[in-house]
Amino acid sequence: MAFYEAYPTSEPNDYAQQVYAKLATFLDQLKHFKNVAQQDGLVSLIWDIYNTTGYLDYVGGMPGGYQRQTNLHALYERAADYEKNGFKGLFRYFVFIERMQAHDKDLATASPATAEDKVQVMTIHGSKGLQFPVVFLNDIGKKFNDQDLKGNYIFNDHLGIGISYLNTETREVSDPLQKEAVKAVTKNAFLSEEMRKLYVAMTRAEQQLYLVGKITSSKNKPFDAQTQILTWQSKTTAGSLQLPVATRKSAQNYLSWIGPAISRHPLVMAKFGDSQAFAELAHDQAKFDVTFYDNAKLTQMMGEQQPDELSPNEWLKQLAATVPDKVPEADRITDLMTYQYPHQAATHTTAYQSVSEIKWLFDDPDNVQLGNYSLLDADQVIKPSRYTQSSLAAPTFISGNGKSAPSPTDVGTATHMLLQQINLSKTPTEASVAALRDNLVKQGIILANVADQIDLSGVLKFYQTSVGKRVLANSQQTYREVPFSLLMKAKNVFKNFADGDQRILIHGIIDGYVITEDGVYLFDYKTDHLSSKVGVETIVDRYRGQLKLYDVALSNLLKQPIAAKYLYLLADNQLVTVQ
């Protein structure tokens, strides 16, 4: 809101104009919706939101769009019922919905209306509460997804976790009794849930139910239907309708339960020539048929196709011949189905970039002006997530609670922090810097073992340099830890950006700068360790692009050029000018 209110008096730019236009549209819609809610009521408000935003059409194009639209219509209808009962107000309706959800009442997924000339494909869960004249339950031979029962650990809501045991000497992994107990209970619950799902699926049919599954036979033996029936019958118990516990628990799919259950029925025995009788089902009135198909039988059936029956390809050709050459809206439909997003390159990266990701573009001060640098490939820099810090602080039980030897990086970071906290209104002394260090330890910002390793004399040496003297002489014009944002054209950073107006936002933090009568001086602290292989020039080359980027951002911010840029190397207490 601060941006929206200050915009009319601010300096105009393209980005601000676009943001302001979107905010204005949003606030106008919000004001309109408030008026509708106050004057016309809840039902009118919901339908007006659907029409104004096009949200009802939008969800229709998403996965499960028909169900999503049904849910939105259900929300509208429930609002109408709410107002018919004499209740008014949007806030009260929200309270009503929350109470209904808290008690798990009447807010289940709405069931979409079904048409008589329509084939619906849905999951078993999605079919709950629905009934159809004919139901196909496909792929009942597919193996259950039992991945939760595998692996080195198993979770259970009641028993907790069962973990495999690793013998560190022999490197052998075994499952202790605890894990076996958790696995057994979890598997029983898993199979019980699959049985409930099977019951739901089979009871959706009103007239006919087709169970379709695949049976895998041995490669060395051809499939034999009677042998399969005998195999199923061997998994049952004489005199008991219920399948044995072993059969139920060893099931790998729905067919492992269905096959043995129907194999004892008189209709199956009569068809496949088994003489075994099962008295409990002798008078059962169920009517069903079991048919096995193999590749040879399917091929034979295709060859027996009647002459007057068309193959699928012939039927499509005949249908195409009856369609007029010019179908209304055909061109528009084709355009929609073949639409290509014009800014595809923008989807492979983010509009927000940190300094460290693109600093190399500025290694040469003339690169951006001359355009003689290699652009970044957007596909190579996309990141799944971002962090405000490259690493997290070590827990106290690992760091020794401030008692163990700290790493050089920890000492450098603490020194950097100390420099940012020093009072510049007076010349710092070893006593004042030590007092500040002790205060940071007391506040828990710096660990005691790290504080002991800070070179206080090295900190004071910074203020003996030319930049440090300028800082002390111009303390009121010295700024430290300055965040900045910089807009750059995306085509100057990434490849394949055809739209020249697309921009990215670069964000960073400048350690400090001081404004004097003879210009602006920028400085940055670095904790890099010097060695025989990593010298001063190596570190300068490493951060040259970053300092140049700071130069561009700061000069844009202050509307004046930067007189000089410096790196202060904390490891060597050395001030280096960066050209």
- Residue positions counted in the chain: 579
- Host H or E run for residue 512: strand 503-516
pLDDT at position 132: 86
pLDDT at 387: 38
pLDDT at 259: 92
pTM of the model: 0.42
DSSP output for 42-91: HHHHHHHHHHHH-HHHHHHTSTTHHHHHHHHHHHHHHHHHHHHTT---HH
Q: Are 551 and 523 in contact (CB under 8 A)?
A: no
DSSP 535: -
User: In angstroms, rounded to a whole number, what is the distance separating the alpha carbons of residues 130 and 134?
Assistant: 12
Note down pLDDT in tens along the chain; length 579 residues.
676 667 666 777 777 778 878 888 888 888 888 888 888 788 888 888 888 888 888 888 888 787 888 888 888 888 888 888 777 788 888 888 788 777 666 555 556 665 567 788 888 877 776 788 899 999 999 999 988 888 899 988 888 999 999 988 888 999 999 999 999 999 999 999 999 999 989 998 989 999 999 988 777 778 888 888 888 988 988 888 899 999 999 999 999 999 999 988 889 888 887 656 678 888 888 899 999 988 777 777 766 555 566 677 777 777 777 766 666 677 777 788 888 887 776 776 666 666 665 554 544 434 443 333 344 454 444 443 443 344 555 555 555 555 567 777 788 888 888 888 898 888 899 899 899 999 888 888 888 888 888 888 888 888 999 999 999 999 899 998 888 887 777 776 666 666 667 777 787 888 899 999 989 999 998 878 778 888 888 888 888 888 888 888 888 888 899 999 999 888 788 888 988
Residue 116, SS3? coil
Cβ-based neighbour number of residue 425 at 10 Å: 7
Query: In the prediction, which pLDDT does 274 show?
Result: 63
C-alpha dihedral, 510 to 515 to 516 to 522, nearest 10°: 20
- Judged by phi (left if over 0) then psi (alpha if -120 to 50, else beta), residue 371 lies in left
* Distance between CA atoms of residues 489 and 487, nearest Å: 7
Percentage helix, strand, coil, to 5, in the chain? 50, 15, 40
Q: How far apart are CA 577 and CA 565, in angstroms?
A: 6
Helical packing angle, 177-202 and 255-262, nearest 10°:
60
pLDDT for the residue numbered 380: 46
Q: Is 494 exposed, middle or buried (CB count within 10 Å of its CB: 0-12, 13-18, 19+)?
A: buried
| Contact call for residues 512 and 523 (beta carbons, < 8 A) | yes
- Residues paired with residue 513 on neighbouring β-strands, in sequence order: 479, 522
User: In terms of Cα–Cα distance, which of 546, 556, 558, 557 is closest to 511?
Assistant: 546
Which pLDDT belongs to residue 277? 67
What pLDDT score does 372 carry? 37
For helices 255-262 and 225-233, what crossing angle results, to 10°? 90
Containing 513, the helix (H) or strand (E) segment is: strand 503-516
